[in-house]
Chain A
């Protein structure tokens, strides 16, 4: 596609439910990143994929968070048993090999009630 796309754009869920956030990177980009941004805050690194493997998961806040990437393309970030503190904008970015420009998607705004 022309750019990075994410879905859904907005998600409202109840505390305790599971959510899945999807990211479609730019075609051909091998590196994919997930970030979390709380209101008025900076970009919190969550996880980095190179191809289908994740050499760095150090940013995942707890074991309720997991992510996978299939076919070297689409990635899914799953949050189990959501908590109110999970409310934030979840941004996905991709780059060609990992050291170049990162192109960000529009983000998914998650609200946990």
Chain B
């Protein structure tokens, strides 16, 4: 039931790109992306509600492939401030209530 995130960890040099993937075994209503910096609470990045929807925020964007029940987070020209753990969360279409289940997270470290 928990979405699967890959990779588990990424190490980048400043300016490099990265892709984080999230896949679910269930048909999805929405996918959420959050970032958590060390010692802080998770912070919302974006939510994707429709199949094929893509959203962008600065140089961070995401896509949602409803048919494949997958989402990808794209980090372009990474900055030091992008470091942290990225979590995807999914809300299934079925279930009768609105439960957001988080993946295990992807640790991203950006070095100068």
Contact residues of A with B, CB < 8 Å?
31, 33, 35, 41-43, 45, 48, 50, 55-56, 91, 95, 97-107
Contacts and interface: CB of A to CB of B under 8 A. Distances in A.
A23 to B, nearest CB: 12
Given A100-B47, A102-B32, A104-B43, A43 B97 contact: no
A101 B43 CA distance: 10
Given A42-B104, A43-B87, A99-B30, A104 B97 contact: no
Interface string B1-40: 0000000000000000000000000000110101000001
Contacts of B30: 99
B44 A102 contact: yes
A91 B41 contact: yes
Contact of A104 (B29, B41, B103, B105): B41
A59 to B, nearest CB: 9
Contacts of A91: 41-42
Nearest to A30: B98
Given A33-B100, A42-B102, A56-B99, A101 B44 contact: yes
A33 B29 CA distance: 18
B44 A98 contact: no
Interface in B60-111: 87, 89, 91, 96-105
Contacts of A48: 97-99
B97 A50 contact: yes
A107 B42 CA distance: 10
8 contacts: A42-B87, A43-B42, A45-B99, A98-B97, A98-B99, A98-B100, A99-B29, A99-B91
Contacts of A33: 100
B46 to A, nearest CB: 9
Given A42-B104, A99-B30, A105 B41 contact: yes
A107 B40 CA distance: 8
Given A43-B87, A102-B34, 5 more contacts: A42-B87, A42-B105, A43-B102, A43-B105, A48-B98
Top 6 nearest A-B pairs by Cβ distance? A98-B98, A104-B41, A43-B102, A42-B104, A55-B97, A99-B98
